[in-house]
Amino acid sequence: MKYSSGEIVNLGDKVTLGDGAAGEVVCSLDTSEFSPLYPQTAWAYLKSGVLINFPKHGLIHYVAAEPDLQFRGRAPSRIEK
């Protein structure tokens, strides 16, 4: 999946919604990347998209990025040096 701005969604990405709620990508079914708290065995049935945890809203499954979902930064392990 890609953000509306064109960047590929990766595990650990920091995002915000239009209401300012901050969240983090906790799994990408598209790339088979899962955080320890959201294992593949529990979420693979969704088949595609990403799961984003928003403390304000809870866990949201996206198959395609909505325009108000904004990329804010990569997880430290994903930043190229």
In tens, the pLDDT along 2-21 reads 998 888 999 999 999 989 99
Does residue 60 surpass a pLDDT of 80? yes
The separation between the first and the last C-alpha atoms of the chain, rounded to the nearest angstrom, is 24
Query: Kind and range of the H or E element at 41?
Result: helix 40-43
Burial of 38 (0-12, 13-18, 19+ CB in 10 A): middle
Residues with Cβ < 8 Å from 53, sequence gap 6 or more? 23, 24, 26, 38, 59
Q: Which tokens belong to 42?
A: 């529990």
User: What is the pLDDT, as a whole number, of residue 5?
Assistant: 86
Sign of CA dihedral 75, 78, 79, 81: positive
pLDDT digits (tens, 9 = 90+) for 35-56: 999 999 999 999 999 999 999 9
pLDDT digits (tens, 9 = 90+) for 64-79: 999 999 999 998 765 5
